Amino acid sequence: MITATAEARDGLPARVRLSGPVGGSKNCLMQDVIDRDGFRVNIGIVLSADDGRLFLGRRARGRGWQFPQGGVSRGETLEESLFRELKEEIGLDASDVQIMGCTRQWLRYRLPARYIRRNVRPLCLGQKQRWFLLRLREPAAVIRFDATSQPEFDHWRWVDYWQPLQEVVYFKRAVYARVLQEFGPMVFPCGLPPRPGAHCEAPVPVGSAPAAGHGEGAKPTAAKPTAW
């Protein structure tokens, strides 16, 4: 169950608190919250540089490129979950970023059948996400992956605004398109750059990183269990 604990402020949605029973097993985090429809409650992070480029991370062991995201734990507000995931996944503190906005609604994607763990209860069929747009306050801030023993990423780079649509796994692409469209006016108040339509529709093979931004060359590390 999700209940609001404070009024909306600064253009952001009301803080919410999660309560109620949480299931789990050896294959999922005990504190993850899965709603009655089978969607794991989740936050996503779009981190922007001053020039409008976005952070894109390569999942450990080369399993694709994506934005940071993670499950909301029981008892957390969305903002608390945001800053915990920010620290765990890319090593940044709340003071390193400015919250620019948040998606107006929950966005959902379903997992393909081959990724659904039928032997795990409660059954997770997909993700239910609120996305936050963050601006990096200090270009010299150090992005790092050693805040946890099982890093989500092993490499990262800055990319052009629409580039993530070409590289994210196919079943997340529609959510990414909605998120980028909604955040676009906040990143580019004078008008969004053109979206390369045809290139956004087909999956792109994952390979070595193209020209990388600050932080290229991080060594691969042990990966978390897959949590798409």
What pLDDT is attached to residue 110? 94
- In percent, the amount of the chain with pLDDT more than 70 equals 73
Q: Give the confidence band of 213 by pLDDT, cuts at 50, 70, 90.
A: very low
Q: Which has the higher per-residue pLDDT, 116 or 68?
A: 68
What pLDDT is attached to residue 133? 98
Q: Are strands 126-136 and 39-48 parallel, antiparallel or unpaired?
A: parallel
What pLDDT is attached to residue 15? 43
Q: Give the confidence band of 130 by pLDDT, cuts at 50, 70, 90.
A: very high
From CA 85, how far away is CA 70, in angstroms rounded?
A: 6
Q: Which has the higher per-residue pLDDT, 158 or 204?
A: 158
What domains appear along the chain, each with residue ranges and CATH number? 2-200 (3.90.79.10)
pLDDT above 80 (res 9): no
Average pLDDT over residues 214-227: 44
Least confident of 89-98, 155-164, 186-195, 216-225: 216-225
What pLDDT is attached to residue 160? 98
pLDDT tens sequence across 48-62: 999 999 999 999 987
pLDDT above 70 (res 77): yes
Q: Which has the higher per-residue pLDDT, 226 or 191?
A: 191
